Amino acid sequence: MKEYTFPYGRGKKSFSLDASRVLKEIRMPELPLVKDIKAAVLDAIYHPIGTKPINEIVKTGDTVTFICNDPTRVANSFDFMPVFVDEMNKLGVPDENMQIVFSLGTHRLMTEQEMKEAVGENVASRLRMYNSDANVPSDFEYFGTTSRFTPVLINKRICHSDHVILTGTIVHHYFSGYGGGRKAVLPGCAAMETVRHNHSFMLDPRAGLGKAEGNPVYDDQLEGVALWAKGRSVFLFNAILDAEHRFLKMFAGDYVKAHVEACKFVDEAYGVRIDKQADVVIASCGGYPKDINVYQMQKTMDNAVLAVREGGVVVLLAECEEGSGSKVLEDVCRRLGSIEAIEADVAKHFVIGENKAYAVTRLMKKARFILVTALDRQLAKDMLFTGAVDTVEEALKMAEEFVGKDYSVTLMPTGSLTVPLYNG
């Protein structure tokens, strides 16, 4: 028996397992870390991809809006934002000419304290900060309609500055292909109807994890952002982190070209080849905030299901301190009660929140999911999970009912990041 310790919420959980059962422990490849964060940020913005260096773009007295991630995405904004703000000062942009808009998409509003924690006390004390609330129609301006009939409604706070700097990190996304880049604007700073219409394309079989060009969600987002960005100065800064939230690489420049190059690195950093799919996958989301709720946990489900065989079991460590993260998700699961009914209802009338019910339950067609979680047990049952328990050992005992006692295991300690690539 061997003891393993996986991230869980704001702490860790340990469990014992017969090591001879383990086919593979899926971890990110060893890659060099950024040694000097300030130097790396400056190098990226002064040697950008596809555009002029920052000092040839920003001029004295200009106004600048930064778009930053919300707490559901690890971005380490507190590391790079002080560098950015100080550099803007050197280029002649005073603090009063800068602001931060947090790209919430359809997520809940951030508190003042969460904003301070996101960008750091120093920056928070100097710059105005705002939430982009998708549910306030008067906060948005209209920029036309995409060829897929998505109305492009973008938060007015990012529409009237001389420059908009999109920041954040990039990981694979289960239906948009990749995070980062254009997603800071759409869905990040878009109105609810814009997000709803764009996300409805997740039902298209061409939408999926690691798929960009030809993915209708991705293409629609690019087209929508291009309508907003026309005639506007838009600059990208995206970073890639390792499992311990340390910087691996930084990319800056044109919001499309730099993002394409960054995504190539994301594939190298997070994609891991496997030779065989296991009977059981034990996966951790990677701890808080990746397992803050079921809404965020679902992304780990998408990665873990790639490593399990048809009819197998995924044991998922996810504390879910904020519960499901969506009352709509809960209500839909309770009202419809089956995978098939949810899929049919979403296809007929796409609603944000209900789409997450589909995203979660569609994976249950391939494998059963047993949660090691603090989630309410009845709520877990309502959302069609096979079980919800306190320990990995309890989950494995339950898994034996479906895969027998002689089962193989694949381990995924950072399941929200690593993407199993199975040739079969």
Structural domains counted in the chain: 2
Distances in whole angstroms, Cα of residue 186 to Cα of each of 113, 180, 183: 25, 10, 5
Residue 12 and residue 46 share a domain? no
Say which DSSP state 174 is in. Answer: T
Specify if 257 maps to a domain: no
Instruction: Give yes or no for a cis peptide into 53 (omega within 30° of 0).
Output: no
Q: Do 201 and 303 lie in a common domain? A: no
Angle at 20 between CA 19 and CA 26, to 5 degrees: 60
CB 312 within 8 Å of CB 403: yes
* Cα–Cα distances in angstroms (integers) from residue 341 to residues 208, 328, 329, 348, 369, in the given order: 22, 15, 14, 11, 19
**Which CATH number fits the domain that encloses residue 416?**
3.90.226.30
Task: For tokens 């003042």, name the residue.
Answer: 112
278 CB burial (10 A radius; 0-12, 13-18, 19+): buried
For the cut 70, the answer to whether the pLDDT of residue 29 exceeds it is yes
How many CB atoms neighbour CB 325 within 10 A?
Answer: 20
Number of C-beta neighbours around residue 213 at 10 A: 9
Q: Please indicate, yes or no, whether residues 196 and 325 belong to a single structural domain of this protein.
A: no
Least confident of 28-37, 212-221, 349-358: 349-358
Same domain, yes or no: 92 and 192: yes
Does 16 fall in a domain? yes
Q: Does 169 map to a domain?
A: yes
pLDDT, tens digit (0-9, with 9 covering 90-100), for 363-387: 999 999 999 999 999 999 999 999 9
More confident residue, 353 or 140: 140
Together in a domain, 193 and 231? yes
Backbone angles phi, psi at 38, to 5 degrees: -60, -45
Tell me: the pLDDT tens digits for 194-246? 999 999 999 999 999 999 999 999 999 999 999 999 999 999 999 999 988 99
pLDDT of residue 174: 92
Instruction: Please indicate, yes or no, if residue 177 is contained in any of the structural domains.
Output: yes
Two tokens, residue 248: 């691996």
- pLDDT given for residue 74 in this prediction: 86
User: Do both 68 and 170 map to the same domain?
Assistant: yes
161 and 219 inside one domain: yes
List, in sequence order, the alpha helices (H) in 183-315: 192-199, 216-229, 257-270, 294-304
| Cα four-point dihedral sign 334, 340, 341, 344 | positive
What is the CATH number for 141?
A: 3.40.50.11440
Asked if pLDDT for residue 284 goes beyond 70, the answer is yes
E strands, 301-406, are 308-317, 368-372, 387-389
Q: What is the mean pLDDT of residues 164-180?
A: 96
- pLDDT attached to residue 353: 81
HSE (CB half, 13 Å, CA atoms) of 282?
30
Count of CA atoms in the C-beta half-sphere (13 A) of 234 = 22
Last residue of a domain, one of 195, 224, 241: 241
Q: Are 151 and 192 in contact (CB under 8 A)?
A: no
pLDDT at 424 over 80: no
**Same domain for 96 and 166:** yes
Residue with tokens 């090691």: 372
Query: Would residue 334 be called left, alpha or beta, if left means φ above 0 and alpha means ψ between -120 and 50 degrees?
Result: alpha
Contacts of 108 (CB under 8 A, 6+ apart): none
Residue 267 lies in a domain: no
H/E stretch holding 322 reads: none
Q: What is this structure's pTM?
A: 0.88
Residue 265 CA to residue 191 CA, distance in Å, equals 31
* pLDDT one-digit tens code per residue, 71-124: 888 899 999 999 999 999 999 999 999 999 999 999 989 999 999 999 999 999
Over residues 124-133, the pLDDT tens digits come to 999 999 999 9
Task: Classify residue 195: in a domain, yes or no.
Answer: yes
How far apart are alpha carbons 27 and 249 in whole angstroms?
18
Least confident among 73-77, 246-250, 275-279: 73-77
The answer to whether residue 32 sits within a structural domain is no
Per-residue confidence at 352, pLDDT binned at 50, 70, 90? confident
Domain that holds residue 277: 2-27+272-422
187 preceded by a cis bond (ω within 30 of 0):
yes
Domain boundary among 219, 241, 263: 241
Domain boundary pick from 221, 241, 261: 241
Are both 196 and 322 inside the same structural domain? no
The residue count for the chain = 424
Q: Residues 299-338: pLDDT tens digits?
A: 999 999 999 999 999 999 999 999 999 899 999 999 999 9
Looking at the fold, whether 353 and 407 belong to one and the same domain comes out as yes
CB contact burial 395-415 (16+ within 10 A = b; e otherwise): bbebbeebbeeebbbbbbbbb
Residue 160 in any domain: the answer is yes
Give the residue carrying structure tokens 């009845």: 378
Q: Cα(217)–Cα(214) distance, rounded to whole angstroms?
A: 9
Coil, strand or helix at 169: strand
Asked if 198 contacts 355 with a C-beta cutoff of 8 angstroms, the reply is no
Please tell me whether residues 320 and 404 are part of one structural domain. Answer: yes
Say yes or no: 74 and 160 in one domain. yes
β-pairing, 233-241 with 247-253?
antiparallel
